[in-house]
Structure 1
Amino acid sequence: MITQASGNLLDAQVDALVNTVNTVGVMGKGIALQFRRAYPAMYREYIKAAKAGDIRLGRMHVWTNDEALTGPRYIINFPTKGHWKARSRFTDIEAGLDDLAKVVRHLGITSIAIPPLGCGNGGLDWAQVRPLIERTFAALPDVDTRVYPPAGAPQAADMLNHTCRPRWTVGKAALVDLIARYGERTLDVSIIEVQKLMYFLQEAGELLRLDYQKGRYGPYADNLQKVLQAVEGHFLTGYGDGSRPVASAEPIAPLPDAPAQAADFLVDHPDTLTRSQRVLGLASGYESPYAMELLSTVHWVATHESRPVTTPDAAASAVAAWSPRKATLFTPAHAHAAWDHLAEHGWLHQQV
């Protein structure tokens, strides 16, 4: 029996859950990241198999949940693409479904939950993938097959997380502390604002090893996302699985007790606290995604371009040249005001 399901796939009460994976051992986003957090032991086995070359397109990787008293007995990793950056192909989904059917028969699975294979980051059309799944499981009428169409990720707080709590480091403590103190001034803290707070903290001299580049919303460090993944559900909440577009992403907020723990940790790191306070001083009056994007963009063109600008007029022109979006969004007057604010707080030409 095939039914269309809704809600959080990981909450399905079935014999087997299907997880979509690549063949190179990366579960960094979307439903794969949700599985990684919910079943850390499975993730470790998947990594070993990927390193051994045993994760292949068209072949299932099955992990048995030996400790399961309730919930799924099996997690079936379904390779939908080779490299995590690649697009999925229908031929690989078809071959994988054939092998999945064999696995279901062999293990005697009576109920299974299946996500939208190869859709989302894989780029395939659900209207074409769904018939492939239905055709495959029509031949298994005794299996309770629950198919989940694309519906977006569940709320961050509803995602299972059985990973070990990471240890505090200066960088993690500074991240939580900045978000907590900045958040006291504003209703919500967006992922854009988190990126900019850490950008300015690094610019203030904190050794964070964040690789900032020019992005759509100003300076952006992709490796900061990995830090947010690690602390999600332990120190912070809101990042979730990182799959939501920026415009619809949840706000990032510290979990109870995390700000106090971060503050206690930073007592022994007064230089970091001084830099954080300097960032908060700069952010005063600019507490919004729009304003922090503007401030960081103006700072970038004055400090990181191959030919840094040296006047507010040049900064306004450089901001407009960044992208058509910025040219429309940020007026010359706004760029001038941001330049003056940066200069007043000592962030231009004398960075630390």
Structure 2
Amino acid sequence: MTLLRIVRTVASAVKSFPNNVHSLPVASCRTFATSNAMANCVREIEGDLFSAPKDHSLAHCVAADLKMGAGIAVRFKQLFGKVDELKAQNAGVGGVAVLADGSSRYVYYLITKKTYNLKPTYDDLTKSLRAMKEHMAKSGVGKLAIPRIGCGIDGLEWGKVKEILNTVFGEDGAYEIVVYNYVPK
């Protein structure tokens, strides 16, 4: 292809580009990724996680003892309750406990440590995320809203956690992960 032909092709493409950026599709994890590059399916926004659209399931990290006595876990416990139902699932470290919140929304409790006073590992977080992804795939869930999981009281580094999220959920390009960074007013 000659340089002139390339310039004409690009010019034609630019002319057909929509003038209204609001008509462009919202980017999600449905991108074309090669086997060497994972899709970036994690999008960060400022806001309250609990104001996420109802078509987004929710997730956060907890201990297997399901105490949920500190951090954002307290709010999950207050809003969704059903701790006995979660305990009955007997999810261990590296697993996930799940509550249904309506017909197509789920609340995921990533079990990343044995008891509330311990710290999670990146390996256990990864296992929990894969367990959640398996449930999401079976249940037709493609959108997830989360806090910076494992990075508050649990002390994991956000950069590493974000990389794990992109690796786990960017593999097949079917997931959109929205991370809510709460900014008090």
Q: TM-score, normalised by structure 1?
A: 0.38
Structure 1 counterpart of 2:141: 109
Kept in 1, the 8 Å contact 2:95–2:112? The answer is: no
Structure 1 counterpart of 2:130: 98
Match of 1:44 among 84, 89, 107: 84
1:183-332 to 2 correspondences below 5 Å: none
Structure 2 counterpart of 1:5: 45
Match of 1:55 among 85, 88, 91: 91
The 3 A distance-change label for structure 1 pair 34 and 140 is: farther
Kept in 2, the 8 Å contact 1:81–1:122? The answer is: no
1:29-178 to 2 correspondences below 5 Å: 29-41=70-82, 43-49=83-89, 54-65=90-101, 68=102, 73-149=105-181, 151=182
Task: Give me the whole-angstrom Cα distance separating, in 1, the residues matched to 2:131 and 2:91.
Answer: 13
Structure 1 counterpart of 2:57: 16
State the structure with bigger RCO (CA 8 A, min sep 6), 1 or 2. Answer: 2
Structure 2 counterpart of 1:25: 66
Structure 2 counterpart of 1:302: none
Which amino acid is 1:16 matched to? S
Task: Give me the whole-angstrom Cα distance separating, in 2, the residues matched to 1:114 and 1:78.
Answer: 11
Structure 2 counterpart of 1:204: none
Task: Give me the whole-angstrom Cα distance separating, in 2, the residues matched to 1:57 and 1:5.
Answer: 29
Q: Which 4+ residue blocks in structure 1 deviate beyond 4 angstroms?
A: none
**Larger proportion of strand:** 2
Structure 2 counterpart of 1:195: none
Task: Give me the whole-angstrom Cα distance separating, in 2, the residues matched to 1:144 and 1:45.
Answer: 27
> What are structure 1's unaligned runs of at least 5 residues?
156-352
Deviation at residue 112 of structure 1 after TM alignment: 0.9
Task: Give me the whole-angstrom Cα distance separating, in 2, the residues matched to 1:113 and 1:140.
Answer: 18
Instruction: Please state whether the residue corresponding to 2:107 is helix, strand or coil.
Output: strand
Task: Give me the whole-angstrom Cα distance separating, in 2, the residues matched to 1:118 and 1:81.
Answer: 10
- CA RMSD, aligned part only? 2.1
Deviation at residue 48 of structure 1 after TM alignment: 3.8
> What are structure 2's unaligned runs of at least 5 residues?
1-28, 30-40
Kept in 1, the 8 Å contact 2:86–2:98? The answer is: no
Deviation at residue 146 of structure 1 after TM alignment: 1.0
Instruction: Please state whether the residue corresponding to 2:109 is helix, strand or coil.
Output: strand
Kept in 2, the 8 Å contact 1:20–1:115? The answer is: no
Which amino acid is 1:21 matched to? V
Deviation at residue 144 of structure 1 after TM alignment: 2.4
What do residues 209-268 of structure 1 show as CA deviations (whole Å, max 9, x unaligned)? Answer: xxxxxxxxxxxxxxxxxxxxxxxxxxxxxxxxxxxxxxxxxxxxxxxxxxxxxxxxxxxx
**Larger proportion of helix:** 1
What do residues 185-220 of structure 1 show as CA deviations (whole Å, max 9, x unaligned)? Answer: xxxxxxxxxxxxxxxxxxxxxxxxxxxxxxxxxxxx
Deviation at residue 98 of structure 1 after TM alignment: 1.7
Q: TM-score, normalised by structure 2?
A: 0.70
Kept in 2, the 8 Å contact 1:81–1:118? The answer is: no
Structure 2 counterpart of 1:286: none
